[in-house]
Chains A and B, each alone.
Chain A
Amino acid sequence: DTEVTQTPKHLVMGMTNKKSLKCEQHMGHRAMYWYKQKAKKPPELMFVYSYEKLSINESVPSRFSPECPNSSLLNLHLHALQPEDSALYLCASSAAGGRVRYNEQFFGPGTRLTVL
């Protein structure tokens, strides 16, 4: 199984809502990532978890809160978002952990988020 799954596929939320994005992989990968991708732009790294610990936070606003409950699951909790946060949110995983060498990332299909 080389699949990364993400739910929901689409999400529309108001600025006062609280919602969560979910990501799951069963490849035994110990690094998991959240990226944000705006239209016609490359993915921008938000967070990286390594062995269930937050390893990288790219100065993401606190209205985005990541969580890694176990090695297969990654959540992104959303609260008080702004319309400019509307984007495709991609989850990825990789086998790399610790001292990183070749870092092939497997991406999920993404959640298309619209903030009204």
Chain B
Amino acid sequence: GEDVEQSLFLSVREGDSSVINCTYTDSSSTYLYWYKQEPGAGLQLLTYIFSNMDMKQDQRLTVLLNKKDKHLSLRIADTQTGDSAIYFCAESSRGGGFKTIFGAGTRLFVKA
């Protein structure tokens, strides 16, 4: 079945760039997403990329997609302490209807 994998923990210094990586198995994945979850809160969509794109940039966020290797990354430039949260990679496919498959989440810790 479909699977999405992420490393569980990342620690960076304030002002550095953070790179969170994700791999997925479903070759029919149409959209790939990055969601952010702060403590005690629901998930918030940060950005998404369509599978026919290689890169998408949105202010401090850059998403890179390597469809051949089924690898997705999220780069956060100039990481701030407010970026500390759990980041979920997720995918949905055209044939999957409403189902979005989430990875386990990467906990980002930003040191001041």
Contact = CB atoms under 8 A, between A and B. Distances in A.
Interface of A: 4, 31, 33, 40-43, 45, 48, 50, 55-56, 90, 92, 94, 96, 100-110
B99 A56 contact: yes
A105 B88 contact: no
B12 interface: no
Contact of A109 (B40, B98, B100): B40
Nearest to A99: B94
Contacts of B30: 101
A103 B43 contact: no
- Ranked nearest first, the 8 interchain pairs of A and B with the lowest CB-CB distance are A107-B42, A42-B102, A107-B43, A48-B98, A109-B42, A103-B92, A108-B42, A104-B45
B97 interface: yes
A40 B94 CA distance: 28
A104 B102 CA distance: 13
Contacts, number: 63
Contacts of B40: 109-110
Contacts of B50: 102
Interface residues of B, number: 23
Contacts of B44: 107
Given A48-B99, A103-B31, A103-B98, 11 more contacts: A40-B105, A42-B103, A43-B88, A45-B99, A56-B98, A90-B42, A100-B94, A100-B96, A100-B98, A102-B48, A103-B100
A90 B10 CA distance: 25
A78 B40 CA distance: 22
Interface of B: 30-31, 33, 40-45, 48, 50, 88, 92, 94, 96-100, 102-105
B39 to A, nearest CB: 11
Given A90-B43, A105-B45, A100 B92 contact: yes
Output the residue of A31, A56, A104 with the most chain B CB within 10 A: A104
Contacts of B45: 104-106
Contacts of A48: 97-99
A110 B41 contact: yes
Contacts of A94: 98
